[in-house]
A and B are shown apart, each in its own frame.
Chain A
């Protein structure tokens, strides 16, 4: 191996600081630059900074993102989140390994082209199972499609200019009366090709020369129909087009816009003619028509009708980074009110607002923001408002937000911190990612209000590194505000100083726990400590620290703007307002939804989500991720609020809602979550470090058909002890998935004791065989990756059980449904 160039290391240390707490950003920089952490570089860091060898080794080995050996040319991240797991992520990884010939225990192929890495959750749950190769995310992967995806990637890679960034864009400005095309550009939309569609639309719009603006917006919520656009014409209801591909961009543009100029018209005509010649199907008009839908479409209505958008207000309408647009929609009104600065908003139109605004210069926007002073709202009143609203923390535990603010505000001392907890680690949850990607200014406003209320002048966004787009957009939003002079010495031009920064997590679920998060920011291993003292009393650097979840903060500006009373009218007696859920799993309409507290599980699953797939039976929902539980279908009328969910053995959690059907094995689900918490345990306290491992041992035995009845009793007993004895929330709640499945699905556990997996999921307990329906088409034999099916044309095939790896390929490819799983 060639010697390591240490100049970068020196530069990184110089840039990021020599203090002990710089260790994580420095390691991130080294990892990014070298692809791994070369020991020479680590030593160099210790020599040239205050970072000790013990610290750098301890920290680097704690977080998932750091590697100690070089990786192949491309990193393939296999998402193992809940939705991906139930959708067959294991088979996908097996297929990847088979295809790349990477043996178990190794992670890189012989040519050092690809390195496989499991990630806890990519947060693109509605596309499950998902893999990410380098920067490109691929959804709906199957064992079958893996070779294609890799080829696809390499081809794009060869074309080099594969995908243009959508992040450098500035606002597109049209003339009066322009038609806007909104393209949702959240990470999951992009994984399905929205970015390519966006560029194609732009090119075509430009070519068409019409008065049309192609506009980037945040998440549209309906992940199951993306890439999706909305065509918004002044004075008309919007038209949606769903499931589009970039090749349809031209047809779309032409359908809506009369081209200007003779040449273009001729071209349009020509295109139509050519298309009708080339396309077997029909004219592009009709081609596109198939994808259109309106808000009155029953599916869309069912999806949207029950929703109330507060944290996701104006979803699908706003360009995430367009500050003026945010201002035009009431953005920073709440903060301005509290600061006592008058915010003159630039035009108050809501829709198609971009057309009659002039391109802005910096001075212009500054003028628009700073007006004359108005009486400020006292922090105490702000806190009272929060208390009256009944808002409770959306991170999972549901602690009253106003009360938390009050405690921090009452702490003596001048230095306090506010932290936005964006370490959304629950597999199967992506609400916070979506909110940060789509509404960065809203979360910033929420955090600024919190800072104002408690008297903090420094705020930190802690965002997990698995969410690169969220990090990018929040950074960009902060930079934009700084550029306008609205952050730093003068928040919104007022007298209150507030400095904001982004701290990227390094891959550790436990850092969502607030004391672990603080340890992480302080440059330590993310190990929780005993509370009390609570962070509100002794937090970051020993100072009072307020930590709120992303969604919580996103709700705050709305409450301040619309009054606590209005917020409190939504929801139930004890759980006020709305909750954002990531709806995924075995469901027809997955996506991101915001519903009032008190909505029932049935309404969410069956009305909004459209129920289980054709022919499948809705069995349970997993709510709350690794800390939550499985609520069986028979309790689907349970209202979604903190108390009701706790009663049935689940928790609100951060809002992952994974629907399970009759093909999901509940023992496997329990094992999946225990595997997750076991992987993510910090390893500090005995109950969590070893207790979850021993629970996992028993679950492994169950799934392998090697458990006996006493194991079930021991599992339950140990689960209760781990829950009671663990130091932090991670360990205390880790047994919930086990306890809730034992409570509602004990029969499945007993079936496993008897050596059966009723759902046909646990590979050690199932067998594939060919039924009499086989016509001898040989397709299964051709596709079997391990040659377990001898080719016997025109005769019924047979599967060699010893060779079979249960990859499911034969069942998927069989055109006659002649593969049976027993």
Chain B
């Protein structure tokens, strides 16, 4: 056959030239057929089989199947997807490694803890602040009150003591707020700076990693914040009780981190309740570019954080500082107003595109006041969408079901924010999926020792009573105790990416795990054989480059592994193409070691 011809891909005709594979044709149609073992230079290796498509009733790998005239290919069908998902799940059943560290997986808010720890170790406080404040609001509060499930999962705890994650989070937050032992600014300034409001709000330039410390007048933001709560009943009442949160004309606070917000969407959200759930939801919605107004019946924001704690447990400087940060994000607070008294749901729905009820635990019979249906535990809300019986009205946190743990209550707020956000974008609301992670499970002492090779062996650093937290030096020392359980390829891993896309269940096939192995090489290459999926790319690259030793497959069947001949080290095999192999490894099996202390 010569010259271009046509094939059908999921019903769309595609013109392909002779010799082209189905995969190449699909990619031109922007159909994202997943591949792990495919690298053009190497030719089709046909090992991973996640690129399956269906042709003539048979599943075949698209990377190695040449298109022929009139071919009919199915790619994005449930059957094909299930086969791809199974291939991924099989790979994970023999994948010795964690994408995400146990601490991060256990954090209901998904804070990237190991990165924070490494940044602290490196003395990169600004970066650490961005890591923390980019992931969650109120770190100064959580850094004091969180029940830190992260530390329970910390692998270091299986060796001696877990890393002091909560204390370090507090250290980061306090430093940013200018309170506590590690504060960069004088501790004396314990009164929080007045929060920003209308017109003076800071907005972040786009780009997540940007350190935002200069107020940028964003014309698009100003108007959306100009509106006053349209409260037909409640107007006037409680306005004056706004007390502490009343704006003052202070200049914007310099030196504090504000995460980036997306451009304004023009949508308005009312959140009823300024407790942990409401505040967290407000933070995430604001970052999505929505105009958020938080109303609370109390004169001050904070909900149970304020009513349920005292100065010793949670210094007001910390709480107020954090709320101030939220104000600076453009969130408007309307305090001293109560739903059913000053506000009505109908009224809110006239002025806002969505309403989130985060009013905390409710009493029986509040149904009338709230205007939504109740269940035995609280407001009746769909567990998957947070939606109540009233369209456009969502509910979350203790208002739905009593939350015992602060961080969980906040996570509920985050989930509700995602649902509301999807609703505002005209999509079906759905709780966010947990980020995918391969899970290695409990480790043997010998395996832990491998991780310890690269960590500080020091004992947990506990600041003295008198100190109000870690010093910068102590924080760095404590951060150095992190074992780096998270995969160096996480976020940059093809396997992880497609597992998330295909909703793979990493633990579908429970099996005895192989021991974790890690080969640290003097030249900086790290080889973790348990993460190798035997795609064969590195073996082929060595062959193409004429490596003197190269890499090869050793053994057969389930026990095949990639190794250097004659039991030599990986770097012996990779004298010419180490960089190329690391670059093209589809998982974290071959990586370069970052300089310790640099995240």
Binding site for B on A (CB under 8 A): 39, 42-43, 52-58, 61-63, 508, 525, 529-530, 532, 678-687, 689-694, 697, 718, 721, 724-727
Contacts and interface: CB of A to CB of B under 8 A. Distances in A.
What 10 pairs between A and B have smallest CB-CB spacing?
A683-B560, A53-B565, A54-B552, A58-B552, A57-B565, A690-B90, A681-B557, A530-B64, A54-B550, A694-B509
Contact of B48 (A52, A55, A57, A686): A686
Nearest to A726: B49
Q: Is the interface of A mostly helix, strand, loop or mixed?
A: helix
Nearest to A694: B509
Contacts of A697: 509, 511-512
Nearest to A723: B59
A62 B556 contact: yes
Interface string B498-542: 000000000001011000000000000000000001101001001
A530 B557 contact: no
Contact of B87 (A54, A62, A686): A686
Contact of A680 (B46, B536, B557): B557
A58 B50 CA distance: 25
A690 B94 contact: yes
A689 B61 CA distance: 16
Interface in B6-35: none
A53 B566 contact: yes
Nearest to A64: B556
Contact of A54 (B48, B50, B52, B549): B549
A508 B61 contact: no
A530 B60 contact: yes
A360 B536 CA distance: 58
Contacts of A683: 534, 553, 555-560
9 contacts: A62-B555, A683-B560, A686-B90, A686-B91, A689-B534, A689-B557, A697-B509, A724-B59, A727-B49
B86 A721 contact: yes
B509 A724 contact: no
A144 B518 CA distance: 47
Interface in B54-107: 58-61, 64-66, 82-83, 86-87, 90-91, 93-94
Nearest to B549: A53
B47 interface: yes
A62 B555 CA distance: 5
Contacts, number: 129
B555 A694 contact: no
B83 A721 contact: yes
Interface of B: 44, 46-50, 52, 58-61, 64-66, 82-83, 86-87, 90-91, 93-94, 509, 511-512, 533-534, 536, 539, 542-543, 547, 549-560, 563, 565-566
Contact of A508 (B52, B83, B556, B563): B556
B137 to A, nearest CB: 42
Given A686-B48, A686-B91, A690-B90, A39 B566 contact: yes
A54 B47 CA distance: 19
Given A690-B90, A691-B90, A721-B86, A684 B46 contact: yes
Contacts of B551: 54
A724 B555 CA distance: 25
A690 B558 contact: yes
Given A54-B543, A685-B48, A725-B49, 4 more contacts: A57-B552, A678-B557, A684-B536, A694-B90
A694 B509 CA distance: 7
Given A56-B565, A529-B46, A690 B553 contact: no
Contacts of A52: 550, 565
A53 to B, nearest CB: 4
A61 B60 contact: no
Nearest to B57: A724
Contacts of A43: 566
A682 B557 contact: yes
A742 B152 CA distance: 44
A53 B536 CA distance: 17
Contacts of B58: 724
Nearest to A39: B566
Given A54-B565, A718-B86, A686 B49 contact: yes
A54 B552 CA distance: 5
A690 B556 contact: no
A42 B90 CA distance: 35
Contacts of B52: 725
Contact of B557 (A58, A679, A724): A679
Contacts of B44: 530
Given A57-B565, A530-B61, A687 B554 contact: no
Contacts of A725: 49, 52, 59, 83, 86-87
A684 B91 contact: no
A733 B204 CA distance: 59
A56 B547 CA distance: 15
Nearest to A721: B86
Given A54-B551, A54-B565, A57-B565, A687 B557 contact: no
A114 B30 CA distance: 62
A687 B90 contact: yes
Given A54-B543, A690-B94, A725-B86, A525 B553 contact: yes
A56 B554 CA distance: 10
